[in-house]
Structure 1
Amino acid sequence: MFKSFFPSPKLFFASAAVWCLLAGALWFGVLDSWKPALDFFQSLAPTGVGADGKPPFITPDRLYIYAFLLITGFSFAAIWELASDHPWRRWSVWGSVIIGLSSYFNVQFDLYINDWYGSFFDLIQDALSKTRPVSGGEYYGLLFSITWVLVLNITGLVLLAFYTQHYVFRWRTAMNDYYVDHWTKVRKIEGASQRVQDDTMRFARGIQGLGMQFISSIMTLIAFLPLLWVLSRQVTELPLIGKIDGSMVFVALLSASFGTILLALVGIRLPGLEFRNQRVEAAYRKELVYGEDHEDRAEPATLKELFDGVRKNYFRLYFNYMYFNVAKYAYLQSTTFVPWFALGPTVITGAITLGFFQQINQAFDNVDRSFRFFASSWTDIVELISIYKRLRAFEAAIEGDELPSIEKPFVDSSTTEIAQAEM
């Protein structure tokens, strides 16, 4: 799955983590306040305020960190370009860097929009409470001041989605080529054709969806955690706890940790059940395919027996998903009210404005959504884990390793034995 597309996967991902840590240490230790660089970018971007009273989207500080990220990201890719001769390195290495940087830049749009919310809702509060006159020009001017930022954001998201689709399909192509090259070793593995065609497709789709969500969550935390920490200074106290530093960060982390642990415990059996579900489906489909070319295969009694195995596994899966969904939807619905509850004492005392309330609520939602990535995506993660297990066992046969015990009864077995093992 990975070595077909990435050069030395373990070393590649380990070096990427170390490179990010070194870049972070360099930035926060030396370069974030390096005056010569800041002076250079002062001449390239405005330093005033926009129509909403906030700094513009492009500022010297932002240009500085964008340049730093581009240099460090492309330097990492260039090193691997020179150090490896892997045939897919241009897509896997350069593509991963491009997707990571693009995700960060898109999060910057969200960060700017979050600041804009504060100004806009303060304006609404002034207008509704009649604390000062608000003209139509001021209202609509502020409303339309965000338009060009939204256009750029939408354009970036569309281009990133388009590029990611091609990136993932190249990954699927690399897996397909690798498995086809070793077809003689794996052709007798249960569902070999399905694993090459269907599982690689589903794995690619899963990586595309979950991978992008995960990267976006990490980038969102990098951008919004400092903001939420600063905004938390205006929160007077938390219910039942009192005043603590970074109060809303603490609430988001506590809420997400609770949900992640809860759903992981409730759904612990689901990956295995999904794995078995793919096996019984493969057995049923395989018999139908044999029946197309052989009159002595796909007899009604055999098909009924196989489909009974499919039905029993699905009913078992549905039952487990029922109590899992109770926990999932109860948790996801309740998280909507967590920041409102946490901000209760601050709102009651009138310590913040409507704009600030909206701003901190939006920042909290971004941080909380990123923290609870695993909780929100657990169903998709379960499916991806089951696909990973099938492909990993498939690769064990290619590499000459011992097959997992769950696979052994299905190698070189008859269709009836498959059905009996499942039932």
Structure 2
Amino acid sequence: MFSQFFKNRDYIFWAYFGWILVIILCLAECFFDTLSNHLNQAFANYIQGALNPTDNTYKPTRQDFIIYLWGLLWVELIGVALTNSGREFIGQHIAFKWRMALNDCYISKWPILKDIEGVSQRIQEDCRDFASKVELLAVDLIYKIVKAFTFYRLILIYGKMISYIPFFGSNSHSLLFASIFAEGLCYIPLIISGRKLPKIEYDNQVVEAAYRKELVLSEDDHFTTVNMITISTLFSKVRSNSLLMYRHLMYVDAAFKFTNTSSRYISVIILIPPLLRKELDFGSFKAADSVINNMLWILSSIREKWPILIELASIHKRLKGLDHYIEINNKNSHYLDEIDNNNNKVLINIEYKNM
């Protein structure tokens, strides 16, 4: 699945240079994200100075707000929007080229694969879904790794402003450790609820393929009682597998909604004590809240993509089955060729001796 794309000379540009371009666009987008965070901190301080003017606070002018809006226009609408749409555009092309590589590989082995149940669906849908989902996860992972390095420096800066966080002490990494611990707790219900789902989805696809094939065969042959019994039996299996899959999907959805809702309040719970101790002004609070939420968003990559990962695991298992089937047939074919060659050598030797 990977060698068909990355080791194929026809797709070497997209397999390597395409990903380099994606990384460059991710770096550019993270640069604009950092500028946006600084702009939001300045804007929050302007709001605080305008609503509660004191001798110690800066009193913003109309020109300050105009500069902020102009900077926001360039950073958010032009910088972030263009880099984000650019990396999505390149990523979609990479995914389709990957699908082409997989399609070419499996179509070239069609005489071997044509007898497998549901092979046409696997080549058409599974190759498409595998390439698009791997591309989606890979681009998202690259962007979040780059963003993690960018925001790591910021979360240390705001961590130094806070004197103490319960259970995590008073060091500059306390905000980072608190974010990692809170996000780690959110993975526990997801792992427990979704551990059986990939196998259930795989079994469901196998039964669906057998049911579809029986229906197609029944169109051409004379429909008999035997066909009816077979179709009813297969649909009964489809029904039981579907009900089992729906139940486990409910567990995953419930765990996902619970963890998603809980993560919204993590930054506020962490930052309210130092805010009450007056260690942060309003601008620093908003900026620290934004940085923590960005770190939580980075750490929640696997959790947010959990349904996609489960589906991808099932697709990978099906395509791995095709690769394994091709490998076995190639070995058997090589073994038969060796037998034929040995038989030919024996026949040639016998004919030579009889001459």
After TM superposition, the score normalised by the length of structure 1 is 0.72
Separation in structure 2 between the aligned mates of residue 124 and residue 311 of structure 1, nearest angstrom: 59
Instruction: Indicate which of 57, 61, 64 corresponds to 1:135.
Output: 61
Q: Secondary structure at the match of 1:343?
A: helix
How far is the alpha carbon of 1:113 from its aligned partner?
0.7
Q: State the match for 1:26 in structure 2.
A: none
Paired with 1:128 and 1:282, the residues of 2 have a C-alpha distance of 65
Which structure has more helix as a fraction of its residues? 2
The residue aligned with 1:342 is 270
Matched with 1:227 is 154
Q: Residue 239 of structure 1 contacts residue 344 of structure 1 at CA under 8 Å; is this kept in 2?
A: no
What's the counterpart of residue 114 of structure 2?
Answer: 187
Alignment of 1:160-309 (within 5 A): 160-296=87-223, 299-309=227-237
Where in structure 2 are the equivalents of 1:33-48 lying within 5 Å? none
- 1:156 corresponds to 2:79: no
- 1:206 counterpart letter in structure 2: K
Q: Which amino acid aligns with 1:141?
A: I
Distance 1:133 1:118 in 2: 15
Tell whether 2:17 aligns with 1:91: no
Distance 1:241 1:161, change over 3 A: closer
Unaligned runs of at least 5 residues, structure 2: 331-355
After TM superposition, give the deviation of residue 244 of structure 1 in Å.
2.9
Question: One-letter code of the match for 2:221?
Answer: H
Q: Could you tell me which of 43, 47, 52 is aligned with 1:124? A: 47
Let me know the Cα RMSD of the aligned residues: 2.0
Q: CA offsets per residue over residues 12-66 of structure 1, 9 Å max, x none?
A: xxxxxxxxxxxxxxxxxxxxxxxxxxxxxxxxxxxxxxxxxxxxxxxxxxxxxxx
Matches within 5 A, 1:257-406: 257-296=184-223, 299-400=227-328
Deviations 1:372-396 (A, max 9, x none): 2111211110000000000011100
How far the C-alpha of 1:153 sits from its partner, in A, is 1.9
Look up the match of 1:145.
71
CA distance in 2, matches of 1:395, 1:213: 27
Question: Structure 1 CA distance, aligned partners of 2:168 and 2:177?
Answer: 11
Q: Write the distance in 2 (CA, Å) between the matches of 1:360 and 1:278.
A: 46
Rounded to whole Å, the distance in 1 between the matches of 2:300 and 2:129 is: 23
Q: CA deviation at 1:122?
A: 0.8
Cα separation, partners in 2 of 1:215 and 1:291, compared to 1, 3 Å = farther
Distance in 2 (CA, whole Å) between partners of 1:147 and 1:249 is 30
What percentage of residue pairs aligned between the two structures are identical?
Answer: 29
Q: Is the CA contact (8 Å cut-off) linking 2:210 and 2:234 kept in structure 1?
A: yes
Cα shift at 1:123: 0.7
Higher RCO (C-alpha 8 Å, min separation 6): 2
AA aligned to 1:114 is: N
Per the alignment, residue 2 of structure 1 pairs with 2
CA shift for structure 1 position 241:
4.2
**Pairing of 1:66-85 with structure 2 (within 5 A):** none
The alpha-carbon deviation at position 299 of structure 1 amounts to: 4.5
Partners of 1:230 and 1:246 within 8 A in 2: no
**Bigger radius of gyration among the two:** 2
Give the Cα–Cα distance (whole angstroms) in 2 for the partners of residues 241 and 86 of structure 1.
51
Note closer, same or farther for the CA distance 1:220–1:133 as it changes in structure 2 (3 Å cut). closer
- Map 1:14-29 to 2 at 5 A: none
Quick one: which amino acid aligns to residue 236 of structure 2?
A: D
1-structure distance, mates of 2:53, 2:329: 75
Deviations 1:275-298 (A, max 9, x none): 112112222222233334334389
- Which amino acid in 1 is paired with 2:3? K
User: 1:300: how far off?
Assistant: 4.5
